[in-house]
């Protein structure tokens, strides 16, 4: 038994299944995209509108020395520069550009996962760019994806030790069942015959093979099993896959369902009940699912774009409010003083700060940074969950925004945040 556990603890492996980005990772990707558009916009502005607005996209890419992967960002910056004062001049073109960038981030992330934790987290950024065949201009995207993988793996490694314990229990259960048939049958049978005999799915062939080796060769059977790494890794990956699939269903469903219901939902046989139970326990106890055990939001590019548009609408409103005051006062005031003056919550500090900079000539563009928008995004998510509790039948009625603001005790300056959250829920 000690030998068996020692072997298992040495066989932890990194899973390589493709996985969607979490809402937090998507938000980081959007913020990175907007930062790039902001940088490109500033560079293009120095070239002059007459040239930029008449140039073709491939010409701008060549002039800027940027790869084709950033054509969406360049096109959006060109659109902003040549399409008037509205920051989001074309929702359609912005949505396409954003979707293209998100697809690229997912591609980089999932490609890196196929190389495994040790390679990705042990390599330098330059080495990863070479491995992926990507230009240096995408170093930020690769660095971001590397960080996601290494943070995830450090968390999952702790769980793998528990998975090993689960595999150990499974192994001895399988050994006990096989011994009932006698060594004459077990030691001469083909693996598939034993699988059929036990009524087990192919996912468990590793456990059956190791049990057969143990019965027919004792500890020596375990020592000489050359495929142990594959067998144990397969079991580890099975539990990881189940855990990852739970994220698509959300906390409420997974943690409120019975084991039998989850097996049916996942289409798994009863023999995998132990793996499902283990994954369910992690998911429902994981504080990072959401602090208040809420179903994690799956935010589409269209939803993200609506949030960005809502932020800029809020900035415009703050700009108009501040214009009513003497410029010298606005430009000398502290941010918290302006927040108090306007009666807006702290989550809108980024919008107020940007409006102040525009009035005081501290910025030549209304493009916001990721930090400017973070509080606004957080407030939308918080409002969204409150709207879920209020129910769609109430929230999605016509002309409900004023009533929702009043019920939630929010000022009129939160109109655009509420409007975006309502759109997320109702559309």
Which DSSP helix (H) or strand (E) runs through 405? helix 401-408
- pLDDT higher than threshold 70 for residue 11: no
User: Backbone phi, then psi, for 360, in 5-degree steps?
Assistant: -90, 5
- Percentage of residues of the chain with pLDDT beyond 70: 73
Higher-pLDDT residue of 292 and 367 is: 367
Nearest of 126, 97, 125 to residue 33 by alpha carbon: 97
- Taking CA atoms, 113 is separated from 14, 27, 30, 240, in Å, by 9, 20, 21, 13
Q: Supply the pLDDT for residue 385.
A: 83
Q: What pLDDT digit, counting tens, does each position of 223-282 carry? A: 444 445 555 666 677 777 888 788 777 777 788 788 888 888 888 877 777 778 888 887
More confident of the two residues 298 and 231: 298
The reported pLDDT for the residue numbered 95 is 60
Give percent above pLDDT 90 in the chain.
1
Q: What is the mean pLDDT of the chain?
A: 76
The predicted pLDDT at position 85 comes to: 41
Phi, psi at 90, each rounded to 5°:
-145, 105
Average pLDDT over residues 406-427: 87
What b/e readout covers 44-60, taking b as 16+ CB neighbours within 10 angstroms?
Answer: beeeeeeebeebeeeeb
Q: Quick one: pLDDT at residue 221? A: 47
Q: Which residues of 72-102 are buried (b: 16+ CB within 10 A; e: fewer)?
A: bbbbbbbbbbeeeeebbeeeebbbebbbbbb
pLDDT band of 6, cuts 50, 70, 90: very low
Residues ≥6 apart with Cβ < 8 Å to 233: 11, 13
For Cα atoms 38, 44, 50, give the angle at the middle one, nearest 5 degrees: 135
pLDDT of residue 268: 80
Mean pLDDT value of segment 169-185: 82
Residues 6+ apart with CB under 8 A from 111: 132
Q: What are the CA-CA distances from residue 313 to residues 287, 349, 371, 416 (Å)? A: 34, 14, 17, 7
pLDDT value at residue 12: 35
Residue 216 vs residue 238, higher pLDDT? 216
Listed residue (135, 113, 140, 139) closest to 14, CA to CA: 113
HSE toward the beta carbon, residue 82, CA cutoff 13 A: 17
130-144, 224-238, 335-349, range with the lowest pLDDT: 224-238
């Amino acid at each position: 038994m000690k030998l068996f556990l020692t072997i298992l603890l040495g066989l932890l492996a990194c899973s390589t299944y493709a996985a969607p980005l979490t809402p937090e990772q998507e938000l980081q990707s959007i913020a990175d995209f907007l930062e790039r558009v902001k940088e490109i916009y500033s560079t293009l502005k120095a070239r002059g509108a007459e040239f930029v607005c008449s140039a073709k996209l491939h010409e701008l890419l060549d002039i800027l020395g940027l790869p084709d992967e950033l054509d969406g960002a360049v096109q959006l910056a060109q659109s902003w520069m040549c399409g008037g004062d509205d920051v989001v001049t074309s929702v359609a073109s912005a949505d396409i550009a954003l979707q293209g960038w998100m697809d690229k981030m997912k591609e980089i992330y999932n490609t890196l996962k196929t190389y495994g934790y040790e390679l990705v987290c042990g390599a330098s950024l330059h080495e990863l760019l070479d491995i992926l065949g990507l230009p240096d201009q995408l170093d930020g995207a690769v660095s971001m994806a590397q960080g996601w993988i290494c943070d995830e793996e450090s968390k999952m490694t702790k769980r793998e030790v528990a998975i090993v314990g689960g595999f150990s229990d499974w192994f001895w259960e399988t050994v006990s069942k096989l011994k009932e048939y006698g060594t004459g049958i077990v030691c001469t049978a083909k693996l598939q015959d034993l699988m059929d005999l036990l009524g087990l799915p192919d996912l468990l062939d590793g456990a059956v093979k190791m049990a057969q080796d143990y019965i027919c060769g004792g500890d020596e059977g375990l020592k000489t099993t050359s495929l142990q790494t594959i067998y144990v890794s397969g079991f580890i990956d099975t539990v990881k896959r189940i855990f990852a699939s739970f994220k698509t269903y959300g906390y409420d469903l997974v943690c409120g369902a019975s084991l039998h219901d989850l097996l049916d939902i996942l289409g798994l046989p009863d023999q995998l009940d132990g793996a499902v139970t283990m994954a369910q326990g992690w998911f429902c106890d994981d504080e990072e699912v959401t602090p208040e055990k809420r179903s994690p939001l799956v935010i589409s590019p269209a939803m993200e774009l609506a949030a960005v548009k809502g932020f800029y609408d809020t900035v415009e409103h703050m700009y108009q409010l501040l214009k009513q005051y003497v410029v010298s006062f606005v430009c000398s005031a502290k941010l918290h003083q302006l927040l108090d003056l306007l009666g807006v919550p702290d989550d809108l500090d980024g919008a107020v700060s940007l409006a102040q900079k525009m009035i005081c000539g501290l910025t030549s563009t209304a493009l916001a940074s990721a930090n400017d928008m973070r509080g606004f995004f957080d407030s939308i998510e918080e409002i969204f969950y409150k709207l879920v509790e209020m129910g769609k039948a109430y929230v999605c009625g016509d002309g409900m925004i004023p009533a929702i603001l009043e019920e939630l005790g929010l000022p009129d300056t939160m109109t655009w945040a509420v409007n975006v959250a309502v759109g997320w829920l109702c559309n």
